[in-house]
Amino acid sequence: MDIKTETEIISDEVNLYDYWKVLVKRKKIFLGIFLLPLVIAIIVSLFMPRYYRGESEITSPVISAPILSTSWEY
């Protein structure tokens, strides 16, 4: 039977402070991953030409003439 010591049990726990330390230590990398695509998208959108185009079509409803034929054949 495998018996774990108290230090082994404690080391299995998740400590959020350790993750926070990693995030703070690597904050330049995380900010770069977020800000670089954002800056690229802003620059591209500012240099794209602005073309606006709108179209519409107004049609009058077609009124069909009454059918004068008495037969049901078409």
Contact 23, 30 (CB under 8 A): yes
Name which residue leads in pLDDT, 16 or 1. Answer: 16
Amino acid at 46: L
For the chain, the distance separating the N- and C-terminal CA atoms, rounded to the nearest angstrom, is 92
pLDDT tens track for 9-62: 556 677 889 889 988 999 999 899 999 999 999 999 999 888 888 888 888 877
CA of residue 54 relative to chain centroid, distance: 27
User: What is the distance between the alpha carbons of residues 55 and 20, in angstroms, rounded to a whole number?
Assistant: 54
Three-state SS at 68: coil
Entry pTM: 0.43
